[in-house]
Structure 1
Amino acid sequence: MPTEVTAIPAAPSAVAEAHFAAEFTFETDCWDVHEGLEIGADFVLLDVRSPAMYAKGHVPGAINLPHGKLVQSKLAQWPDNTLFVTYCAGPHCNGAARGALRLAKLGRPVKIMSGGITGWIDEGFELATIESGA
């Protein structure tokens, strides 16, 4: 009797290869973002959460631009070919996907940082904060 794991056969290797390779065109991970920021990012990291959540803790170097505010006029300072990487609270949050969708609709290259803040902390990386009243 097959288990739920084997009841549906795995995809043929060529199909699996194409699928998993394509995932890297849509997302990156916290470790790669951290390394990119350390050496001088060739992307813009967007924290798409609320300003209040950003102030409580965000990835150092990230710009706060809530997904609902992603409009062409806010992006005018970056060249059209700038890669944006969005993140939100973590896997339980769809804000990064909402932001990525808005950027894609505006014709901008975009990836999601999988894991968001939760993943960043899980990797042992520090968060930056904004002092209240500062």
Structure 2
Amino acid sequence: MTTTSAVLAFPPPAAADSAAWLARKLARYADAWDVAEDLANGVTEIVVIDARSPQAWRAGHICGAVNFPHRDMTPQSLATLDRSKVYITYCDGIGCNGSTKAAWKLASAGLRVKELIGGLDFWRRDRHPVVAGEMPGEWPRRESLPDCGC
């Protein structure tokens, strides 16, 4: 008796095709653990942008992020950004497209950008540092990051 596979009803592409597609996906997205590791290690080539409103920012944001609401992004305001950086955008989570709108505006302005998978929701789920108030906050000193299990 032959069993029909729901997974294999659409066969996977050749390995080289998969590798190329997955590399393109990884070029566009970052996960919470990778961003947290870079922030903890003082990587200066990235800037984390909270694309939410100032009110949401003050209620709690990724430690070290800057608030730049996607609604405030204009060609003029984006022209002031450092083109040597890679910008990581985030919003509340997968149900919010503020980070996508911000990433689109940044990329349209010629800046390099990635989106944070899962936004602040996944960041908090993974227990990475969050700070409330007006200031970006400083990354806490600790021995190592929690293991994400990946």
Tell me whether the two structures share a fold, i.e. TM-score over 0.5. yes
C-alpha separation in 1, matches of 2:64 and 2:5: 46
Secondary structure in 1 matching 2:101: helix
**Equivalent residue for 2:19, pick from 17, 20, 32:** 17
**Equivalent residue for 1:45, pick from 48, 60, 65:** 48
Amino acid at match of 1:63: V
Moved over 4 A (4+): none
C-alpha separation in 2, matches of 1:5 and 1:80: 43
C-alpha separation in 1, matches of 2:6 and 2:107: 36
**8 Å CA contact retained: 2:78, 2:106:** no
Alignment match, 2:97: 94
Residues paired across the two proteins, number: 131
Please list every run of 5 or more consecutive structure 1 residues that lacks an aligned counterpart in the other structure.
none
Amino acid at match of 1:28: A
After TM superposition, the score normalised by the length of structure 2 is 0.80
Once the two structures are superposed, the pairs formed by residues 1-134 of structure 1 within 5 Å of their partners are: 1-41=3-43, 42-130=45-133
Secondary structure in 1 matching 2:49: strand
Please list every run of 5 or more consecutive structure 2 residues that lacks an aligned counterpart in the other structure.
135-150
Secondary structure in 1 matching 2:9: coil
C-alpha separation in 2, matches of 1:81 and 1:71: 19
Amino acid at match of 1:120: W
